[in-house]
Amino acid sequence: MPFGGEANPRRSAQGIERFSCRFHRYFFICNSRQRAATKLLIGSNEKEKCVPRYRDDLHAESDSISRQYRFLPNSTPCHDEAPMTKNKQQPCVIAHRGASGYVPEHTLMAKGIAHAMGADFIEQDVVLSRDGVPVVSHDVHLDTVTDVAKVFPHRRRSDGRYYVIDFTVAELKTLSIYERFDRVSGNPVFPTRYPTGEGEFRIVTLAEELRFIQNLNRTTGREAGVYPEIKRPLWHREQGMEITPVVLRVLAEFGYANPEDRCFLQCFDSEEVVAVRKRHGYRGRLIQLIGSGHDVESGTDYNRLKSHEGLAEIAKVVDGIGPSLPAVLTTIEEEGDSQLVSTGLTEMAHSFGLLVHPWTFRADALPSVVSSSQACLDACFQTVGIDGLFADQPDAVVRYLRSLREVGS
- Sorted by sequence, the CB contacts under 8 Å of residue 147 that are 6+ apart come out as 175, 176, 178, 197
Polymer length of the chain: 409
- Confirm whether 138 is a catalytic residue: yes
Query: How far apart, in whole angstroms, are the C-alpha atoms of residue 148 and residue 282?
Result: 35
Q: What share of the chain is helix, strand, coil (3-state, %, to 5)?
A: 40, 15, 45
Is it true that the peptide bond before 360 is cis, omega within 30 degrees of 0? yes
Contacts of 360 (CB under 8 A, 6+ apart): 96, 324, 325, 390, 391, 392
| Residue 320 bridge partners (DSSP) | 287, 355
Strand, coil or helix: 136? strand
C-beta of residue 127 within 8 angstroms of C-beta of residue 243: yes
Selecting among 24, 96, 115, 357, the annotated active-site residue is 96
Name the residue type at position 352. F
Looking at this protein, which amino acid is placed at residue 108?
A: L
CA-to-CA distance for 369 and 343, rounded, in angstroms?
Answer: 12
Q: State yes or no: is 115 an active-site residue.
A: no
Among 24, 106, 115, 138, which one carries the catalytic annotation?
Answer: 138
335 close to 325: Cβ distance less than 8 angstroms: no
Catalytic residue set: 96, 138
